[in-house]
Structure 1
C-alpha cells in the first residue's frame, strides 16, 4: 500500500473529490509511519514481472519490504521512491542493518522479532552511525510518550504505525466479541471452535458498529484507505460487507502456515526465524543475497512522476505502483504513464493493485493510454492468484503494445 504519495495527488488535483476536506485531512494524516510492513506480496510481483537478470526497477517504497525482496531477481538497481519520509527512514534503517549485521541472528532479532530490549543498544551502537541525517533524526525523535522512535523495536515494532494500532484496536473489538484470532489462524477449517469464530466474525462485521466505522472516512485512515479509494472499494456495496469478504480472503485464501500477511493480521508478529512464512528479505536463506545486494537499493524522497522525469530515457524495466492510482485523478494518472513511457525500456512492465476489480487504464477517461499500453491478462491472473494478502480486488500487469 502507498503512503504520502497521496498528498501529491490531493494537492495537485483540481477535481472536486480530491479538493474535499477529507482528502486534505488524509494527506496530512499520512505524514506519519503508516505501514510497518508492506501489504503487497513481492512473490506475486516477481512472478508477474518475470524480470531478466540485471533489470532496473522503480517501486514505491512504503515500508521497504518489497524493494529489498526484489533483490531475489538479481536486478541492476532498485529505486525505492516515496514522499513519506517515515517510510524512507524505515527502509534506510533496514539497509543499515544489512550493512551492520554480519549474521542473520542479529538482523532477525532487530527486524523480524523486533521486540527485544537489547535492540536499543544495537540501534545506538551499530545502526545509528550508518544512517543519514534525515533517517537518524526520525528514529532519534521522541514521541508523545517521551520515548525515542527506535524504541518501537524493543516492544513489538509491528504493533506500531497507524495500521498496526488499528489492528490492535480490531483485536480489542474481537476480544470483546468473544473471537480468538489464534483459532482463526491455527484452527482446522472444520473445527467447531473455528466455525463458531467465523460466525461471530460475520456478526461483528455486519453490526451497527462496523457500519458506523466504515461510513466515516476518517476512521478508515489508519487502514490506509483515502476517500477516493473508499468509494472504489465499496463499488456500490456496503463497505463493511466488502471488508468482511476481503478479511476472509486474507485468512482463508492461502494456507496460513505460509501466509505471513495472515500472521501479521491475526497474531501481530512474524513467526520465525527461518525460511517459512516470512517476507523474502527476512528469510535466513536469502540473507547473504540481501547483504550483498543492499547497495543496489537506492531510496529517493520524491513523487514517482518527479523521479521518473529525472531518469534517462529507456532506463527502467519494471515499475511497481502499488495501489497509488486508486486515489489519483485521471489527469494525474495520464501524466504518470507519460513519464513511465519516456523512462521505460522497450520491454518495460508495470504492475499495480486496485481496491476494486477494474483497472483505471481500461476506463473511458484514459482510453488514449491504451494506444501504447496493453493489459497482460495472463500475467495479471498469475499475480492475483499468488497474492497472499488477499485485500485487493484487482492485480494488473501492463506492457507496451
Structure 2
C-alpha cells in the first residue's frame, strides 16, 4: 500500500515540519479498512445529479457501495478512485462477487448478511480466483491469530473495519447506559420505549465521558474524521452536542424501515434481503443490472486530481467528491476544480458533502472558481433533504456558470 499518498493527502498541503502528530497518526490509521459501508446516500446523489443515460462518472470509491449503486442510472462508465487500497480491495471483491454469483441468494449471503461460515469456501473457490494480486493479498492476509481477512464475512462483516469496531464500542457504552438501541429503530415516535431510549441517549451525549471522547482527536479517527475535519464539524458548538444532533437526524427524519444507515448505526447489519432497506447494489431487484454492469465500474488507485489530469478533455459528466475537500487546503481545491473543468463535459455536475454547512467554494479564497462554477441551490437542497445518513452538515451540487 502506498502510504505516502495518504500521508500527503492528510497533511493538507502543509510541509512535513508543519504536519501535526495527529495528522501523522491519522494517515497511519487511515491505511486500514475504515468503512465496510459508505455513509453517503447514493439515492440522494442520483436525485441531485439527474444524470442522463450513458453518462461517465468519476467518484471517490470508499467501500464501493455507491460506485456500484450508480449503475442504476445506466451510465457508460464509473471510475472509482481512491488512495486507500483496502477500500479498493473491497470494491474489487464486490465486483468479483457479481461476476461469480449467478443468483442473488449467494450475493446476499456473502455481502449483505456477511455472517455465514460457508462464505469462507465461497471466497476460496469463487471469488479469490477472480481477484488481482493486490486484492488477493489483502483478503488473504492473516492476523496474529492466523485468521485471514476474508473470514470477516463469516462472523458479521459489518462488525469489522475501523468504523464497525468503533460503533461496537459505542454500543457497549449504550448498554452500560441502559439505552435500548432496538427501540430507536421504532418508527412510532411516541412509543414509550423509544421515548425513554432517546432520553437516556441525551444524557449519555451530554455526559463528562462524551465530552472527553469528543475532545480527543485520536478517538474520532475511528469515525474517519481527520484533524482538519474535526474543527469544521464542531464549528462554534461542542462536538458532543453536534454529534448528538447528527445522530438524531439519522434516526428521526426518515422512516427507519427504509433507512439502512440507521440500521448500520444501531445494529451493524441490514434488516434482511429484498428491496426496501438496502443500498441499491444489494437490492434483489437490482441484481441483474449490477451483474450486467459490473464491467463498467473501474477501480483506480490514485490521487483523484492526478487521475482527472490523466484523462482526455471534456470526458466526464459527473464527479462525486464525498467529503474530501474538508481535508484540503485552498490551493489543492483550486487545482482539483481546474482539473474537473478541463476533464468535464459541458453538462458536468459535481457533488460533495461537508462536515459543516458551508461550501469551501463560497469563501473569499476560492472566489475565482465562482467565475466558472455555480452552486445549484435547488439540486443541493434535493440532495440534502434526501440524504438518509444525516451525518453531514452540507450537501452541494455545482454546475458550470
**TM-score interval, smaller chain:** over 0.9
C-alpha deviation, 1:268, in angstroms = 1.0
Determine the structure 2 residue equivalent to 1:201: 201
Shift of 1:12: 6.2
1:52 aligns with 2:46: no
Residue aligning to 2:105:
105
Partner of 1:301: 301
Judged with a 3 Å threshold, the aligned counterparts in structure 2 of structure 1 residues 80 and 32 are, in CA distance, closer, same or farther, namely same
Please, which runs of 5 or more residues in structure 1 have no aligned partner? none
Q: Could you say which residue in structure 2 is the equivalent of 1:129? A: 129
**1:160 equivalenced with 2:160 (yes/no):** yes
Cα drift, residue 259 of structure 1: 0.1
Cα displacement string for residues 282-336 of structure 1 (whole angstroms, at most 9, x for unaligned residues): 0000000000000000000001001101100001000000000001111111111
Residue 27 (structure 1) aligns with = 27
- Aligned residue pairs, count: 399
Contact 2:12 2:329 in 1 (8 A): no
Alpha-carbon contact 1:18-1:24 (below 8 Å) kept:
no
Between the aligned partners of 1:381 and 1:6, the Cα distance in structure 2 is 32
| Conservation of the 8 A alpha-carbon contact between 1:139 and 1:150 | yes
**What's the TM-score once normalised by structure 2's chain length?**
0.97
Q: TM-score, normalised by structure 1?
A: 0.97
Tell me the equivalent position of 1:383: 383
Tell me the distance in 2 between the aligned counterparts of 1:95 and 1:7.
28
**Residues 271 and 277, structure 1, Cα contact 8 Å, conserved in 2:** yes
List runs of 5+ in structure 2 lacking aligned partners.
Answer: none
CA distance in 2, matches of 1:93, 1:6: 22
For residues 359-398 of structure 1, the aligned pairs below 5 Å read 359-398=359-398
Shift of 1:18: 6.9
Q: Secondary structure at 1:144's aligned position in 2? A: coil
Alpha-carbon distance, 1:188 to partner:
2.2
1:237 matched to 2:245? The reply is no
For the 8 Å contact 1:4–1:30, the answer to whether it is kept is no
Q: Confirm or deny that 1:322 pairs with 2:330.
A: no
1:202 and 1:83 map into 2 onto residues whose CA distance is 37
Aligned counterparts of 1:117 and 1:153: Cα–Cα separation in 2: 8
Q: Which moved more, 1:179-188 or 1:267-276?
A: 179-188
SS across alignment from 1:255: coil
Separation in 1, partners of 2:18, 2:139:
32
Q: CA RMSD in A?
A: 1.5
| CA distance in structure 2 between the aligned counterparts of 1:22 and 1:240, rounded to whole angstroms | 20
Q: Aligned-pair distance for 1:145?
A: 3.0
Check if 1:222 corresponds to 2:206.
no
Check the 8 A contact 1:93/1:135 in 2, yes or no.
yes
For the Cα contact (< 8 Å) 1:359–1:394, is it kept in 2? Answer: yes
Change in Cα spacing, 1:154 to 1:305, as seen in structure 2 (3 Å) is same
- Three-state SS of the structure 1 residue aligned to 2:80 is strand
CA–CA separation in structure 2 for the residues paired with 1:23 and 1:97 = 35
Matched, 1:310 2:310: yes
Equivalent position of 1:273 in the other structure: 273
Aligned residue in 1 for 2:78: 78
Structure 1 segments (4+ residues) deviating >3 Å: 3-8, 15-18
In the alignment, the residues of structure 1 paired with residue 161 and residue 25 of structure 2 have an alpha-carbon distance, to the nearest angstrom, of: 18
Partner residue, 1:140: 140
Name 1:43's counterpart in structure 2. Answer: 43
Change (3 A) 1:57 1:163: same
Q: CA deviation at 1:131?
A: 0.3
Matched, 1:13 2:13: yes
In structure 2, the residue matched to 1:119 is 119
Q: Distance in 1 between matches of 2:28 and 2:389?
A: 26
8 A contact 1:4–1:31 mirrored in 2: no
